[in-house]
Chain A
């Protein structure tokens, strides 16, 4: 087991190094002359020369890559042009908000997706199945940014049921100030017992989380359905049925259990996918996370910031993958042998 984990870890480190190299290629090699991108289109010749020296562009590419790798490893992720702050510290404030949003979205997706998948399998080929399948196809086909706009218009602006944007009501900054430990308002409010902020932040979280949940919920419903239908054909289910167990026990215990392993894996993988999808959601809901940071950086042509966001999401993805692999190997010894 330890050997398997070490092997996976080694592979993960290798992939992270590859990821850094790839972002280096994107930032420094594809644009042709990165100095022009860095200094902006109106820079003078002398300014360009200075930028070149500053970025070390006169040195060979290999040396540049070495310096870049060293910078990333030692926590020097360059400075954002837009915020004039180190990219890493910008990310440190932006990432928790996105993690909060995506976590809420995935919890919602699991709460909706699992039961729908089970219902679909239980009533296979009949009306509930057809309805769930239509809903799940719509879920995975929905353009996220469009869904965000529609939900915001309908539930916030027309019906006024939920707040349109932000993390929580700005009036609460003064009436019940929040001590922030981890930059996630719901969690911070919960820790500090700040009920006013907790209530407000949850109501602000619902709409964006629902948008984030659309794709994973559709995906999970389809997966659970397919996986449960597969298991139902197996002999141990026929056995339990002949022993007189009812539908509830069969679906809830014997058919769902084997479906859980892929569900856990997909949930972890879809986490990083959803982090990237927040690029489209956060800007609409003015959520101060990675997505808004990235969207603003895109507009400002802020290369270091974009590279930083790309890198952090890829690293989160690799780490999650690693954890899932190790957890699954710990649960199911057969995986270690593959």
Chain B
């Protein structure tokens, strides 16, 4: 019995040690995994999958929480638990897409600016200066305003706002790596610029960007919810959380459930992202204070 248990206990202790050293990170991951599971399993878990779409139930309009509808129903009688569960799919996908697009625009530009310096660098950095002169919510709102409101256009609007941060970050890293002797050696050996960028500069400058991305996920989620709340993002019947809060706002004093659960979903998801971002930064921070 003890002999059989011994080998399995070793990794267990190790994971527990990891959790004790990085409580923030582990808590965030656990929360996020739960949310991802709910999002993935929504079609099977949700009480009324049809309510994520155009279904209406005129006899159940604005019902309070009950065993049939734990989160209550909305103004056309749709089950809010179902809508909040499906909302997780929309929000998580949006965050991933924004990070991908912003990374795909921002990282190459930063690499080019930091590696080649000179005029290219000047032009790229002045452009990022202009973009960074707007608070993120404001610029994405303005862009979403001139596009047709939809989740897809909201994703584009936020990504267009977000890339300059990554350009800045990558540029700084790339510029410092570009001056290292081994890069010079590569040049002397006749290695092409493209290859140096892809094989040497990129892998060595990507870590801070990934950390920054993990810290930005919460902000992107909140920006998207805000845009939808203001009516420029998801449109009915899309079960987007910000939109649900906006639809419920005028009923809030009497039908509290309409606004509350969707808002809590935004809050918990943002907390999960922020905990992970904090946790990753703490884990990688070499100056971490261990004791006084």
Q: Which residues of A are interface residues toward B (Cβ below 8 A)?
A: 11, 14-16, 18-19, 21-23, 26-27, 30-31, 37, 124, 133, 137-138, 140-146, 149-150, 153, 157, 229-230, 232-233, 272-273, 275-277, 279-280, 284, 294-295, 298-299, 303, 306-307, 309-310, 313-314, 317-318, 321
Contacts and interface: CB of A to CB of B under 8 A. Distances in A.
26 contacts: A15-B126, A18-B129, A18-B133, A26-B145, A137-B278, A138-B267, A142-B267, A145-B229, A146-B245, A146-B259, A149-B249, A149-B259, A229-B289, A232-B289, A272-B135, A273-B135, A276-B135, A276-B137, A279-B137, A295-B230, A298-B145, A298-B231, A307-B142, A310-B141, A317-B134, A318-B133
Contacts of A317: 133-135
Given A138-B271, A146-B266, A295-B230, A310 B218 contact: no
B66 to A, nearest CB: 21
A145 B133 contact: no
A230 B287 contact: yes
Contacts of A138: 267, 271
B94 interface: no
B143 A298 contact: no
Contacts of B147: 30
A141 B142 contact: no
Interface in B40-63: none
Contacts of B24: 133
Given A143-B245, A146-B267, A310-B138, A37 B146 contact: yes
Interface string B104-139: 000000000000000000000011011101111111
B126 A149 contact: no
A327 B232 CA distance: 38
B245 A145 contact: yes
Chain A to chain B: the 5 pairs with minimum beta-carbon distance, closest first = A18-B130, A146-B263, A141-B270, A276-B135, A276-B138
B263 A15 contact: no
Interface centre among A31, A279, A284 (most CB of B within 10 A): A279
B130 A280 contact: no
A137 B219 CA distance: 12
B138 A314 contact: yes
Contacts of A18: 126-127, 129-130, 133
Contacts of A275: 135
Interface in B246-279: 246, 249, 252-253, 256, 259-260, 263, 266-267, 270-271, 273-275, 278
Contacts of A26: 142-143, 145-146
Nearest to A297: B145
B177 interface: no
Q: SS class of chain B's interface: helix, strand, loop or mixed?
A: helix
Contacts of A143: 222, 225-226, 229, 242, 245, 263, 266-267, 270
B292 interface: yes
A303 to B, nearest CB: 8
Nearest to A302: B145
A233 B292 CA distance: 8
Nearest to B262: A146
Given A15-B129, A141-B267, A146-B266, A313 B138 contact: yes
Interface centre among A144, A149, A232, A273 (most CB of B within 10 A): A149
A331 to B, nearest CB: 23
Given A146-B263, A279-B230, A141 B135 contact: no
B131 to A, nearest CB: 7
Nearest to A230: B287
Given A19-B130, A124-B292, A138-B271, 5 more contacts: A22-B131, A26-B142, A143-B226, A232-B292, A318-B133
Interface centre among A37, A229, A310 (most CB of B within 10 A): A310
A150 B262 CA distance: 12
Contacts of B263: 143, 146, 149-150
A253 B146 CA distance: 51
Contacts of A306: 142, 145
Contacts of A272: 135
Interface centre among B130, B145, B218, B231 (most CB of A within 10 A): B145
A298 B230 contact: yes
A128 to B, nearest CB: 14
Interface string B62-80: 0000000000000000000
A39 B35 CA distance: 45
B262 to A, nearest CB: 8
Interface string B206-233: 0000000000001000100110011110
Nearest to B131: A22
A141 B271 contact: yes
B59 to A, nearest CB: 27
Contacts of B145: 26, 298, 303, 306
B203 to A, nearest CB: 28
A37 B145 CA distance: 11
A140 B242 CA distance: 17
Contacts of A277: 135, 137
A153 B256 contact: yes
A116 B231 CA distance: 36
